[in-house]
Amino acid sequence: MNLNKLNGWQRLWLVASCLLFLGFGLFYPYTLVYGVNLSEYQYREATLKDFASGNCSEYINRPFPQLKEPAYSERGGSCWHLYTHRKYDPSPPPFSMEQYDKSMATHRRGEFQDAFLLFGGVSIVASAVVYFFGFLIAWIIRGFKITA
């Protein structure tokens, strides 16, 4: 595609499509996934309290099938956060905050990829639909300008 051959409307469409993709297809998914998440911060702090409590060595060192679910504690210290994280993270023991941070980073990357594919795809499809309608309207207008 030679950009110098585009008319004014096509250039406007191209710039708007690029801005739409950058804003809605890239920036929005990034802020959605990597933005401030208070509940994730609180969960991490509670997990740190589980580690610091000294009562959770079996939840750190034992294989998951040998563990039983402890009582829930919102603030941490009861080992529930360690247990729950290990329930969904198949990392072998001993469990550490490095493993926790690594698995959360992997999880976030996957969420970003999913959001990028979704919102990026939506912005590309929206751009194509707008271009199609512009092409269609131009075709109709050209039909009225035909002289015999």
Q: Decide if 71 contacts 84 (C-beta within 8 A).
A: no
**Separation of alpha carbons 31 and 29, rounded Å:** 6
Which amino acid would we find at residue 38?
L
User: Tens of pLDDT along the chain (148 residues)?
Assistant: 688 889 999 999 999 999 999 999 999 999 999 998 899 999 999 999 999 998 999 999 999 999 999 999 888 889 999 999 999 988 888 999 999 999 999 999 999 999 999 999 999 999 999 999 999 999 999 888 876 5
pLDDT of amino acid 91? 82
Q: Give the angle subtended at the CA of 110 by the CAs of 92 and 21, to the nearest 5°.
A: 165
DSSP the chain: --GGG--HHHHHHHHHHHHHIIIIIIIHHHHHHHS--HHHHHHHHHHHHHHHHSS-HHHHHS-GGG--PPPP-TTS-SSHHHHHHHHH--PPSSP-HHHHHHHHHHHHHHHHHHHHHHHHHHHHHHHHHHHHHHHHHHHHHHHHT---
**Separation of alpha carbons 27 and 91, rounded Å:** 32
- Whole-model pTM? 0.79
pLDDT of amino acid 148? 55
**Separation of alpha carbons 145 and 147, rounded Å:** 6
